[in-house]
Amino acid sequence: MRLLFITSAVISDILLLFFILFLQKKKSPLRASIQQIFITAFFGILANIFVAAAITPLLTNIAFTVYFSSIDFITYQLLKFAFTYTGKLKSLKEFVQFWRIAIFIDVANLAVSVFTGHMYTMYSMTLDDGKTAYQTTPTSLFNVHLLLCYLPIIFTLLLLAISLSQAHNFYRLKYFPILISLTAIILMNVAYMMFSLPFDWSVLLYALSGFLLFFFSLFYIPRRLMSNTLSLAVDFMKEGLFLFDAEKNCIYINKTAHDNFDVPESTLSFDQYPISLWLEGKEKDKLENFQQIFPMEIKGQTMMVKVDYRVCKDSKKNHLGAFFLFEDVTDDQIMMKNLEEAKAEANQANIAKSIFLANMSHEIRTPINSILGMNEMILRESGDEHILEYAGDIQKSGDTLLALVNNILDFSKIESGKMEIRTAGYTTFQLLRECYHLVAPRATQKDLPVIIKCTEDIPREMLGDSQRIKQILVNLLTNSIKYTKCGKVTLTASWTAFSEKDGIIKFVVSDTGQGISEEDITKLFKVFQRVDEAHNRTVEGTGLGLAISRELVGMMNGNISVTSKQGEGSEFTVSIPQKVLDNTPSGKFVLDIENGAKRSAYKESFHAPDARILVVDDIEMNLKLISALLKKTGLQISVANSGERAIEICKNEDFDLILMDHMMPPPDGHETMKIIRDSGGHNAEIPIIVLTANAIEGADVTYLSMGFNGYLSKPVLSKDLEEMLIKFLPADKVIR
């Protein structure tokens, strides 16, 4: 009997050791508790072996101490596990802490009592065969120890029983095996004491309960839960599911499919509706994955159904089966149709808006072109100081009006996504000088100095959109000049290099003006918003300049920010990444004010007395203006006030170039150009430059694609006009 027990106990310890090592690979939060139960049970069974095999009182005392201590630790771990397992650990932490102290006292009591004989008495007796046996008689302290062992087990049983009664039917299986095994432990202990069984097998039952905890919490329950949950999820998902095996027999349909078609799984095959509809026109034997939308009759209603067919294969590409997923997408299709209609309406509205902007640009720029052009002739030819002063005021007002129109058009371009950043090489200091000369007249009127500071390491030439950078800086400088009565406006430029080929150029525009309140800073970059309008009613502007500047900076992957203190001034900071063409440091910045002033005096850039051009425009004033602007070049200029007249003139006369307005009564500029091109003769080959008030984004590309050789927008600057003529007139007729 003793040998049988020792053998079975050794086997149990080996199994426990295996489970301890196996648990090392698990990642469950319950793993640690179960592992502790197995480890303690391992030593408990080992102690029980020593009890059975002990041949001296000392060894028996040591074995009993280890044995009873292991029971203490196992009960603690079971109790802790039960709290964790039932989700009540948080509310019972104090009890667990108390039980740790109780275990420590009990283990200390065991160690002392066993060796002093206070826990039980041990005496030897001689058997009939002459062998010596040892018998123990428990004392009252031993009964106290048993009570301390049983209390947590009983408490655990109660906790599991309550959880069992409150659990869902599926989860009752989770608690029931553990409840049974703990009950078996108590019964085994009672039998051992009441019937004087030769050995106590309860520690092995402790290990068994740990195994049950492991099996049901880490293996069986999660798998059952996953299986049931997946089954429920598949049944109640919005897509219908038909599952077929490798022989194309239907082995499963989910609840959605069954409710929609009411077809038993056993009778559904590839040849039945709706499968036959989905597979119409497809080779069933060579069928691969596909997705398609079909109109279907479902419960008397025509619905749009999206069908997804997938072939199932294993890792070796063996065919295992296939499944169909179908989904009612009728509402989605209706929504998509509505969205497409809304998109079409939005596109129509956008086209109408573009047409409106083109017309507005033409209608407004045409009179501005005449006003500014004729005023330039006054500035060129008049010697009367009073008249020149009046003409100067007209020029400023005309420039302001043109700037307002340009801002509205620029904002529209940005809003419609048609604004483009066009990179080209530019000289950094030249860009800053141009910015100064554009804002200097306004600053001079207010006796306000504009100071430009630059670090000497700024590269000489960079690659970027200098026109847009200039627009941003002029906007910021103009705003500072507007809102600064005294003091100064400063533009500071600096460079941060990332490498020899790229870096960030930073511009800081600061002033000593009225400043901006914290409330107004939040709306500073918003469209049509102006700061402190009650006090700034007389200050011109639309509230678009800063909004456009922010968008342009963003399009160049830069950043713009502002700091301000009311009554002391503002500081705008713009940082823009740029490529470097010439890394030579620019050195000390020189403003070159005198050359800037001289630049305003007109001087024709070429003479071409032998060249002949034809100017075509339906507005008489524009014909006079172009003739006047080109008078000093010596060009032979003919004019036509319609497309028909231009066609007649071209039949009888030869020209070197034609300046053609686009928006004229039929035939318009494009139609007139085509007729002249198709007529043959010398004029069919000459350059035709479109001169138009249409300045919306992409207009140049549009006109060039029509067949025009060049593009100029109104109001035209004499400098741009002369550069275009030099480019396209015969070189032998142009004298620079």
3-state secondary structure 280-337: CCCCHHHCCCEEEEEEEEECCEEEEEEEEEEEEECCCCCEEEEEEEEEECHHHHHHHH
Query: DSSP character for 270?
Result: T
Collapsing DSSP to helix, strand or coil, 124 comes out as: strand
Taking the alpha carbons at both ends of the chain, their separation in whole angstroms is 127
User: In this predicted structure, what is the pLDDT of residue 690?
Assistant: 93
Q: Does the predicted model carry a pTM greater than 0.75?
A: no
Q: If you average pLDDT over each of 69-83, 229-243, 292-306, 675-689, which comes out highest?
A: 675-689
Do 324 and 307 touch, CB atoms closer than 8 A?
yes
**What is the average pLDDT across 709-722?**
86
DSSP result, 510-542: EE-SS---HHHHTTTTSTT--TTTTT-TTS---
In sequence order, what are the beta bridge partners of 126?
A: 132
Which of residues 355 and 476 earns the better pLDDT score?
A: 476
Decide yes or no: CATH 3.30.565.10 for domain 424-598: yes
Q: Which fold has domain 237-328?
A: Beta-Lactamase (3.30.450)
Cis geometry, peptide bond prior to residue 577 (ω within 30 degrees of 0): no
What distance in Å separates the CA atoms of residue 509 and residue 259, rounded to the nearest whole number? 71
User: In this predicted structure, what is the pLDDT of residue 725?
Assistant: 94
Q: Is the pLDDT of residue 357 over 50?
A: yes
pLDDT-derived band at 538 (thresholds 50, 70, 90) equals very low
Q: Nearest 5°: phi and psi at 655?
A: -130, 165
Q: Point out the least confidently predicted range of 274-278, 439-443, 564-568.
A: 274-278
**Closest listed residue to residue 456, CA positions, set 427, 430, 495, 426:** 495
Cis geometry, peptide bond prior to residue 441 (ω within 30 degrees of 0): no
Q: Which fold has domain 2-232?
A: Rhopdopsin 7-helix transmembrane proteins (1.20.1070)
Do 448 and 486 touch, CB atoms closer than 8 A?
yes
**What is the average pLDDT across 172-187?**
66
Q: Where are the domains of the chain?
A: 2-232, 237-328, 335-410, 424-598, 612-733
| 44-76 pLDDT per residue, tens | 777 767 666 666 666 766 776 777 777 777 666
The number of CA neighbours under 13 Å toward the Cβ of 512 is: 10
pLDDT-derived band at 559 (thresholds 50, 70, 90) equals very high
**Closest listed residue to residue 697, CA positions, set 427, 486, 422, 511:** 422
- The CATH code belonging to domain 612-733 is 3.40.50.2300
Which of residues 617 and 318 earns the better pLDDT score?
A: 617
Do 454 and 491 touch, CB atoms closer than 8 A?
no
User: In this predicted structure, what is the pLDDT of residue 467?
Assistant: 82
User: In this predicted structure, what is the pLDDT of residue 597?
Assistant: 43
Q: If you average pLDDT over each of 231-235, 352-356, 407-411, 610-614, which comes out highest?
A: 610-614
User: In this predicted structure, what is the pLDDT of residue 81?
Assistant: 65
Amino acid at 209: S
Q: If you average pLDDT over each of 11-20, 147-156, 384-393, which comes out highest?
A: 384-393
Measured CA distances, 249 to 272, 318, 322, 325, 497 (Å)? 12, 17, 10, 16, 70
Q: Is the pLDDT of residue 682 over 90?
A: no
For residue 171, give the H/E element and its range.
helix 169-194
In sequence order, what are the beta bridge partners of 373?
A: none
Q: Is the pLDDT of residue 411 over 70?
A: no
**What is the average pLDDT across 103-130?**
61
| 320-335 pLDDT per residue, tens | 888 888 888 888 888 8
